[in-house]
Every structure is written in C-alpha cells, then in structure tokens.
Structure 1
C-alpha cells in the first residue's frame, strides 16, 4: 500500500507545482491575440505572478486567436486591463498574464463576458526568434561594421569629452523644452492639419492660380536681362544721387537759411494771408457780395436818410480837407473844422446804437451785453477772436476800431480779431430792392426818408 500512497503524493505535488487551481466558481473573459505561440488549454492565468485562473478554450476567428479564460471571482481587474502570453522559464510552459494598464488610468471593471481586445494584448519573444536574430548578427550581420563604428566614435570623442558632455546636456535641455511645449506643438500640428485640409478643398482654385502665374513667370524669365540691367542702373542712380546730395549740401543749407526770413514773415502774417486769399476770389468786390449777385446783375439795398436842412448846409459849406497831421477833418456848416481824436466815437446814425448804450470810454469788453433798452438786431453777435468769419461777416482790423457801416458807432473799440456777424452790418445784402418814389419838393422838405 505504500507505493500507491507515494504515487498519489507525487501527483499532488506535481499538481501544486504546475499551479492547477479549481476556478469553477469564477467568471469568463475572452482575450484576443494575434499569435498565441504554443499556448494550450488548461494553461495558467496569472496576475502579478500569482495563478488566478486557467485557459478554457482557444479558437480562431479569421487571423485573430480568441482565448477564453476563467478567473477567480475574487480577482478584481479594470475593464481596460491588458494581457500577454508569457513563458515561465527559458524552456518552460506558456501562460497568460493579465495586468492593470500602465499607459492610462484604470476605468470600469472586468466582468463575466468581457473582452480584452487585440489592441491591449501582446506576446513575448520566443527563444528561437532570439537565437535567429543573434545568428543573423554574428553570421555576417554587420558585427564588423558595428566594431568600426565603435572605433570611429571613440576616435572622434577622444579628447573632446567635455564638448560631447555639453552637447548631451544641451540636447537634454532641448528635449525638455520640447516636452514642456508638447501641448503647443500638438496645437500647431492640428492647425497645420486643418490648413492642409482647407488647401485640399481649394486644390482646384490653387491649381488655377498656379496655371495663371505661368505666363507671368514666363514674361519675367524673358525679361530677366532687362530687370537685371534696371537694378544695376538703379544702383548707379543711387551712387550719383548720393554724390549730388553731398556736393549740394552747402547750397541747400544756404537756401534754407535764406528762406527763413520769408517763413518768419509768413508766420507773423497769421490769419491775414488766408483771409486775403479769400478776398482775392471776389476781387474787387468784398467776400459777402456773392449773396447779392443774381445772374448778370447785382441787387443792392440802399437806405438814404435825406434831410433838407443838412443837405443845404453841406452844399454851402466847405468840403472835407486833410489836416497837416494827415487826418481827415470834418467841416461844419459854419465853416469851422474839427479833427476827431483817436478813440473818440462818431455820432450815432439811424440804425446804430445810441452813444448812451455804450460804455463811457467807448471800449466794449469781451463779454459786453447792451442794456435792456438798447437791443441789438436779431442775429447780431460779437464772436471771440480767432472764430471763423461767417458769410457776410466782418473781421475787426488789428487796431480794434469798428469802421463805419455797423450798428456800433464808428470808432468803437473791440478786442483785436473780434468777428461781427452779417446782422451787425447796416443795410445787409438781401437781394431785395426797396425805394420811395417822390419829387424835389419831397426831397427839400425831408419827406423822402424810407
């Protein structure tokens, strides 16, 4: 009886050594392989070198081998687990290794009926494959060339170890920089992919454009000699121009210095020059005459204040004469002369503001407003110096004295450059003709006043 007991003991030991485990209460998973080598049913399935199941069936579907394995119910693996065909030793048996993924995060759970696809499986190299590759290298497979390459590299780096080491450090930094910019590189490649896609869509348009460029390129090629000559001539022109500029430098500087007094006078002229140019357009008429010209005739409105006594007195009195000082003297009916002093106001005429409405010294401040009983015509405004002159308006001259013909008595002082609107002028041009019909009797009696 000792022999059967010993045989049973040996069989039990062999069974234990081969890792046969009963997994009748486990769950089944299908694993796809491109090559299972000499894997056979009842082979072990291991996780971290621990047997957790066995191979139940191996089948073929096209060029893919499907291995159905049974795993222990206690084994918990993610749904994206990987599998590989391994070998226990150099000449040992094959087994299936199941492991967690290493290139991505674990997700889900491996359950009964799950499939580990071909993309997540691999196999180890066979001993025969390793020996065949080694034989290829040793049997005229380039081993002598590797020796030559090794010797040449040793000769090249001999005495240049610091330079090689620095190059390796720079290469490491370069690769590190590329790794940090990996996201930017990916975006650039994706943008390039989108660009190439659009270029593919516009391939016909690009082809037509290139075909249209052909004749132009042909013309440029035919005229390459002329273009080259033109460029050379342009270079010579630049040389001549440089020489001319250098030789005429002194004359140019002298001409600019001679122009300086003229420019200074133009600056001093200020607004007088553009205003005079405005007057030249309507010479010999003032600028506001354009509103009175209708076709080939001019409409004028004239207001005559005729007083018989004044007319007869002026007829028998002496006319105006010029004094020794060069100023106009006025003649009274009695023959006496009176020269107006600078800054004095002439008596107000019909339509003008009475002298009582003006300040005692006759100088209007910039913000002057007449008293309530003295009303200016509608639209009559004193614009600040520097304002544009409106159509029909008046610019007060440099001395600041108001000339005759405005609602202000002649001699009224305003700030230099003040602008009067057209409504401030007496008898503004309207294009209408007003008149009063009468005879000589009406003139002598003073009744011909409109």
Structure 2
C-alpha cells in the first residue's frame, strides 16, 4: 500500500506507451506529476528508479499528442512552492522529425535537473542582502539625473509626433521618390552595354586622350591664366624690362614733393584763372627802323582778333 497508488483527482490523459528519461537528480518530483509540452499535458510520471548515474524517470505518454524524439526534458515549478512537473521541449532546428515510441530513452545529456530549494533561497538571500537592490536603486537615481526633465521629454515627444505625422501625410512624396529610384535602378540593365563601354579599356583611353589634349593645347593657348606654360615665356623679358624701368625712376622719388607743389601752383595760379577768363592784352607794338609793312601786318592781325576796329 502506497500513497502513489491512490487515484488522482486531476484530469489526466491516456497512458498509451512508456518512455524513460535519465536525470542526475529529480529532487521532490512525485509519481503522478504532469508531463507538459508546449503548454499541453502529454502524459504523467509513472515511476522513479534510482540508478548508479542518477534517477530514471518513467513517464506514460498519450498517442494523441506525439512527442518528437529529439526533445529535451527539464523539471520545473511555476512558483518556488508550487507543484513540480516535467517539461518537454522539442528541438526546433531539427531537419527531420521522429517521434518517441514505447521503450524510447532520453539520455542525461538532454535532461536538466532543477536547483535545490536551499540553493534558490541562498541566491535570493544574496540578492537581497548583497546590495543588489541598493545598486539598482542607485542606478535608477543616476538615470533620473541624466535624463532630461519631464517637460523636455514631452516637448521632444511632441516634436517627434509632429514629424511622424508630417511623414505620414507625405507618404506620396516618399512613394514618388522610391518610384524614381526604382526606375533609375531598372534603367541600369537597359544601359549595361553603354556603361560597360564607358568603363572599358576604350573608355579609359578616351578620357586619357581628352586630358592630354587639354593640357597640351588649350593650356598653351592661355598661358596668362594660372601657371606659365610653354607659350608664356615671353613674360620674362617684359618683367625684366619693367624692373629696370623702376630702378631708373627710383632717384626721382625723393624730389617728388617739390615737383608736386610746383605743379599745383601752376595749375591753381596760372592755368585755371586763364581758362576761366582767357584773353591777351596787347599793350604796345614796336618795330625796328621804319618797317611800315610789319606795322601794317600787325594792325591787320589785331583787327582779325577783334582788338582794333
């Protein structure tokens, strides 16, 4: 007589075939515990057999819910003090799928034993008393100091929301841009022959010829622009002559002030008054001897000028 032989009041599934799962330790896994896969019950634990390597857990499975042969097993609890059950997890990366059948064995390499309750409590105690909570609190305080103020975050969120609304309202422009890019991309295959020709050996030769022509001919025709090329050597004698001229005129510069004053005096005192009232006053006419012809010619000239009537 054993409590494990008493009928369970829980709703179960049919026991169609049995499978053995090898565990290093099962802790408090009871006989009759549920076997779950993907949230559904697929069987129950029927027996626990101690071995030299650990514990063999015999489970009864139902045929209505086949279990893949590559599944792994783990003993779990929903809560620290909750019921213990056995969970099966199929390998989703397997290419082919075979299913467990009566007498199949899941090796210890694909089973995971749960930690002891004492280890769990020790980890929780270290978490509480080891300063982890205080560190989390300090971290949150640092984040609160670093992050901007609430009003700034709201303003930023408002700006982002407006930008997203504008983006949503102008999706037709984005579609038009994408359509244009798509058309450009589609034009490349149609122009593949031309593009290949441009980047071929002939295209490279063309660009080299153009560059050589520009440097050899056009640059020679315009020597005054930029550097002095082959045709620009004529500027050297001109520059030398200009330098000699400046050297010759150098002694004149010290007397420049007197020359400037004399020029200003002539322009202001003599030339400008004459230009304002230009006239010539004849005060006397003298002739040597009795040269009456010279006197008559002089009188004629003066009458022409309007001096004599």
Q: Smaller-chain TM-score range?
A: 0.3 to 0.5
Higher relative contact order (CA 8 A, sep 6+): 2
Comparing both structures, which one devotes a greater share of its residues to helix?
A: 2
The alignment's TM-score, normalised by the length of structure 2, stands at: 0.40
